[in-house]
Amino acid sequence: MAAKISPRKEHFASPSPLSLIQKLVLQLKRWNHTSSREGEVVPLRDVATVREGSYDPSTWKSLDSRRAGIRNSDISSPTWTVLKILQHKGFDAYLVGGCVRDMLLKRKPKDFDIVTTASLRQIKKNFHRSRIMGRLFPICHVEIRGSIVEVSSFGTTHRNVKEREATHSSPIATNCDEKDFIRWKNCMERDFTINGLFYDPFKNIIYDYINGMKDLRTCKVRTVIPAHLSFSEDSARILRGLRIAARLGLQCSSDVTTAIHDLSSSIMNLNKSRLMMELNFMLAYGAAEPSIRLLQKFKLLEILLPFHAAYLAEQTSHQPTQSSIMLMKLFSNLDKVLSADRPSDCNLWLALLAFHLALVDHPQDALVVWTFASILFHGIWTKGVQFARENVIDVTFAPEISAPSGTKSNESLLEDVSHLASLVKSSLSSLTNTDALRQSMTRYPKLASCFCLILVSEKMGNNIAKLFDELEKDIKSYDKQRQKCEIDYELLKKGDQDETRFVLGKIIMDTMRTNLATEPSAKVTGKSSPLLSKLFI
């Protein structure tokens, strides 16, 4: 039976229309400078049209979580512990954001976020192993049995929201339920409508104040406030929006699409550590291939990964489909072994980028690439060489794979593998050094004018280089044989080098097995759509 979304008539007292309109107009006056397109000022009536629905209680809805198939057993044990303690102490506590969205989509959440009526100090007082983090939007990290649960307070307001309301605060609307008003106000501070859903697991109710359900049903990523204003407040929302679209197979709304095109270069105002964090969220959680597609579409890839953006621009000019391009195939196979709840450390996808960059600059015989990957996977050169010789097949990746160079002895093959390991290590400099990146970009003279932004530190580059040290220096002494073939995701998430080598070898071999076109992104969409159609009427 389809889960019915009920209007919130039974939960809300009728608010005063006058007080709501007054609050809306006062806030909109603070936002009147915002551009809908670069260089244009939005008239007050245009912004009001976009935002007016957010203040209309008739659009507020609630959903019985049980009819939507949400089970409280899906909530992690540490999260439940925090929720129950807060409730026992007399505070209201809700799950909020992406975890509610993902549970509705029958996906395992990456993490669970809690928002509560307790202040940050009260949270810290009730959980001894906790600490307050952040200055712009402080939250409390609560440690429960080795896991971190992120808890925010309704009493904490984002600095930009404070600025908007500093001179125009207004009381709660007459006859409006205080709890509903508090939840609604918190929604208005969030980034996207589908991240603004509240779930009360004690009452089994999901609250929707900003049409998040509707946007889930129509597979849209839409900002809570006008997109230009939202991205001007925090340009990281551009990357977050694309990450959500890539991971869930959703489409950006038209105003979000326009705003990203207009403001894409604003992400350069973010510090490098923040950019690296957002890029890792995109590439290490099972949606790297569709993320790369979207970053390229919106010309963000040329800022974040300029060499690979130039490579893709050249390849797509004469390839029938991106899925036949080796870089996209590598990331497609990366996505097959990762997911939101089984991520990797950034070392894995950075090693893939370095490996691919080395092949673009120095194409290799397929047997050499197979042997390189097979040794990483098997952990010993004898098994690696044997497996590669038995399984190598012809592939047509260009320019990465060169024509066969004839029969090779084991000695000759191992020399070539060691040389490839050296090339991969050298290619890391294009990810960590501006001059090296500029030199690499000379391969693409038409596209060489790039931002040359470096996100990878020398320390990170050195850690990745260690993955290939033994293959470069003494390959016959390399002995990292495994006792099992399954991936240890805890070790992979921590960046364990043996686990990273194993998975790296697997991804490269899977890529070399065939270069027949596939569409991994269709897998994501295919999972989402049937579930959405069952959830909503």
Q: What is the DSSP string of 376-394?
A: HHHSBHHHHHHHHHHH---
Q: How many CB atoms neighbour CB 378 within 10 A?
A: 21
Contact 537, 67 (CB under 8 A): no
d(CA 442, CA 278): 28
Q: d(Cα 4, Cα 6) in Å, to the nearest integer?
A: 6
Is beta strand 364-365 parallel, antiparallel or unpaired with respect to 401-402?
Answer: parallel
- Output the pLDDT for position 176: 66
Q: Provide the mean pLDDT of the chain.
A: 84
> Which is nearest to 345 in space by CA: 440, 261, 467, 472?
467
Could you tell me the pTM of the whole model?
Answer: 0.83
What is the set of active-site residues?
111, 113, 191
And the tokens for 210? 């900003």
User: Distance between CA 521 and CA 294 in Å, rounded?
Assistant: 11
Q: 306-316 and 288-297 helices cross at what angle (nearest 10)?
A: 80
Helix, strand, coil fractions of the chain, as percent rounded to 5: 55, 10, 35
- Structural domains in the chain, sorted by start: 5-217 (3.30.460.10), 230-304 (1.10.110.30), 326-520 (no CATH)
Q: Measured on CA atoms in the order 439, 443, 446, 451, is the torsion positive or negative?
A: negative
Q: Which residues of 19-43 are buried (b: 16+ CB within 10 A; e: fewer)?
A: bbeebbeebbeebeebbbeeeeebe
For 131, phi and psi rounded to 5 degrees? -150, 145
Please tell me what DSSP assigns to residue 91. Answer: -
Lowest mean pLDDT among 295-304, 331-340, 487-496, 525-534: 525-534
Crossing angle of helices 306-316 and 326-337, in 10° steps, is 120
Dihedral of alpha carbons 524, 342, 387, 496, sign: positive
Is the pLDDT confidence value at 157 over 60?
no
- Determine the residue type at 362: H
Q: What confidence score (pLDDT) does residue 6 get?
A: 54
Cα distance from N-terminal residue to C-terminal residue, the chain: 10
Alpha helices in 9-106 (DSSP H): 17-31, 44-51, 77-88, 98-104
Cis preceding-peptide flag for 57 (omega within 30 of 0): no
Burial 337-352 (b: 16+ CB within 10 A, else e): bbbbebbbbbbbbbbb
Q: Which helix (H) or strand (E) holds 310?
A: helix 306-316
Q: What's 106's DSSP letter? A: T
Judged against a pLDDT cut of 90, whether residue 344 lies above it is answered with: yes
Mean pLDDT of 440-457: 84
Q: For residue 487, what pLDDT is reported?
A: 97
Q: Look up tokens 């038409």; give the residue.
A: 446
434: how many CB neighbours lie within 10 A of its CB?
12
Give the best-scoring range by mean pLDDT among 179-183, 308-312, 520-524: 308-312
Residue 156's pLDDT is: 81
Closest CA to 93 of 72, 126, 76, 116: 116
- Calculate mean pLDDT across residues 431-453: 86
User: What does the alpha-carbon distance between residue 87 and residue 92 come to, in Å, rounded to a whole number?
Assistant: 6
Q: Give the closest residue to 401 by CA, choosing from 427, 366, 355.
A: 366
Instruction: Check pLDDT > 70 for residue 278.
Output: yes
pLDDT band at 367 (very low <50, low <70, confident <90, very high): very high
Q: Which residue has the tokens 């407040």?
A: 233
**In the predicted model, is pLDDT for residue 33 greater than 80?**
no
Cα–Cα distance measured from residue 348 to residue 494, given in angstroms and rounded to the nearest whole number: 11
Residue 41 above 50 pLDDT?
A: no
User: Is 39's pLDDT higher than 70?
Assistant: no
Task: Judge contact between 327 and 312, C-beta under 8 A.
Answer: yes
pLDDT of residue 56: 73
Q: What is the per-residue pLDDT for 13?
A: 38
Q: Which of 39-48, 250-259, 282-291, 390-399 has the lowest mean pLDDT?
A: 39-48
Give me the residue label for tokens 């990357």. 239
Residue the block writes with tokens 């450390």? 345
536 confidence band (pLDDT: 50, 70, 90): very low
d(CA 266, CA 323): 30
- pLDDT, average across residues 82-93: 97
Determine the pLDDT at residue 175. Answer: 54
Q: Are strands 139-144 and 147-153 parallel, antiparallel or unpaired?
A: antiparallel
**Helices (H), ranges, 474-536:** 489-494, 497-513, 520-535
Least confident of 8-17, 366-375, 407-416, 434-443: 8-17
Task: Tell me the C-alpha distance between 478 and 471, whole Å.
Answer: 7
Q: How many residues does the chain have?
A: 537
Question: In this structure, what DSSP letter does residue 88 have?
Answer: H
pLDDT at 173: 52
Q: How far is CA 183 from CA 149, 207, 277, 510, in A?
A: 20, 9, 29, 47
